């Protein structure tokens, strides 16, 4: 549409001149124009031209959204502009939650162009954060050596919590809403970082439907195939088909390698299912190795000192 007409429409929005529709949400009221609303939103078209009460009274009451979200919707209908970063609170570190709100209101009022703006903005947000996460797998400290500061993680979790608020555990749809798929794809792309992050793992317990989605997408992409254990027992080398009670695997944290064991050898080892976070065990192994290196370095320095003294 010609921007000159949109500019005129914005003036009509601001002045309320010739308005024939009243939209109310919370403590806000907008005096609007039926021809503009109905020509640009199928939701308003159905509400204001059918047999609904709104069509007769010319008053539309909206209760399931915040006034700020409806204001951004109306301004988009009148101007074709939605600046999502400008909608985010000044204290926000990301646009995650604002993208969710804009997408939701656009989807509800059947404005696919508005949902696209939300997804495009979300993509830009993800792109600005994904590379550092993919290059950094050590989330043991708030700020890593590569400069990653996960202080925006609470906002990511809040947005995901909102996305999954009304999705039941039984929902295994492969045609998931694009917003749900967008957040899931972002987490999957940086899964090696997130799965070592204690805050993320705690969040999985809070939102089980999201946790199931994470499991499903990792299963579909087949990450585990690259880490299949040996077909023989790593200890006695017997074939698992000859064992009477099965075949077990275990992550050897000191080598980060899957170890296989027949039932006999498994009974001699601790090959039970793990209920504690493996990443904690890995960190413990790293710390142990670091202490050993420091011990060797100190011993070497002391030996060099004694040798030097003896030669002197």
Q: Assess contact for 214 and 176: CB atoms under 8 A.
A: no
pLDDT in tens for each of the 312 residues of the chain? 455 556 678 888 888 788 899 999 999 999 999 999 999 999 999 999 888 888 889 999 999 899 999 999 999 999 999 999 888 887 888 999 999 999 999 999 999 999 999 999 999 999 888 877 777 654 444 444 444 556 899 999 999 999 998 777 777 665 567 889 999 999 988 888 888 888 898 999 999 999 999 998 888 776 666 666 667 788 888 775 554 556 666 666 556 667 777 777 777 766 655 545 556 666 676 777 788 888 887 777 676 666 665 555
- Dihedral sign from CA coordinates of 53, 58, 63, 64: positive
| DSSP, res 291 | H
Give me the helices (H) in the chain, please: 3-15, 34-40, 42-49, 53-57, 67-79, 84-87, 96-108, 112-135, 153-163, 178-189, 191-194, 198-206, 208-221, 263-268, 278-311
Contact present, 183 and 159 (Cβ < 8 Å): yes
Secondary structure E strands in the chain: 21-25, 28-32, 59-61, 247-252, 257-262
| pLDDT in the model for residue 262 | 78
Strand-by-strand arrangement of the 28-32 sheet: 28-32, 21-25, 59-61
Amino acid 289: pLDDT: 78
User: Is residue 51 classed as helix, strand or coil in its secondary structure?
Assistant: coil
User: Cα separation of 174 and 171, whole Å?
Assistant: 9
What is the pTM (predicted TM-score) of this model?
Answer: 0.72
């Amino acid at each position: 549409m010609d921007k000159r007409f949109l500019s005129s429409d914005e003036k009509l929005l601001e002045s309320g001149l010739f308005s024939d529709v009243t939209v109310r949400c919370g403590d806000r009221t907008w005096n609007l124009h039926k021809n503009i609303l109905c020509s640009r939103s199928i939701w308003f078209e159905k509400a204001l031209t059918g047999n609904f009460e709104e069509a007769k009274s010319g008053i539309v009451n909206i209760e399931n959204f915040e006034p700020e979200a409806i204001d951004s919707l109306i301004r988009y209908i009148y101007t074709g502009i939605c600046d999502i970063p400008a909608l985010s609170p000044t204290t926000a570190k990301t646009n995650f939650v604002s993208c969710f709100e804009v997408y939701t209101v656009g989807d509800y009022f059947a404005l696919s162009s508005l949902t696209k703006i939300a997804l495009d903005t979300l993509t830009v947000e993800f792109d600005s954060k994904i590379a550092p996460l993919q290059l950094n797998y050590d989330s043991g400290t708030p700020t890593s050596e590569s400069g990653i500061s996960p202080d925006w993680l609470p906002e990511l979790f809040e947005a995901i919590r909102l996305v999954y608020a009304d999705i039941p555990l039984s929902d295994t749809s492969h045609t998931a809403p694009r917003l749900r798929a967008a957040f899931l794809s972002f987490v999957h792309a940086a899964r090696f970082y997130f799965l070592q992050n204690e805050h993320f793992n705690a969040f999985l317990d809070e939102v089980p439907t999201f946790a199931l989605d994470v499991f499903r997408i990792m299963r579909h992409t087949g990450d585990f195939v690259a880490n299949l254990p040996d077909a023989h027992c790593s200890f006695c080398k017997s074939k698992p088909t000859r064992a009477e009670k099965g075949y077990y695997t275990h992550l050897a944290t000191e080598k980060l390698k899957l170890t296989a064991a027949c039932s006999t050898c498994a009974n001699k080892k601790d090959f039970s299912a793990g209920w504690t976070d493996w990443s904690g065990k890995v960190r413990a192994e790293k710390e142990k190795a670091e202490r050993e290196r420091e011990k060797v370095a100190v011993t070497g320095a002391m030996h060099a000192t004694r040798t030097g003294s003896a030669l002197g």
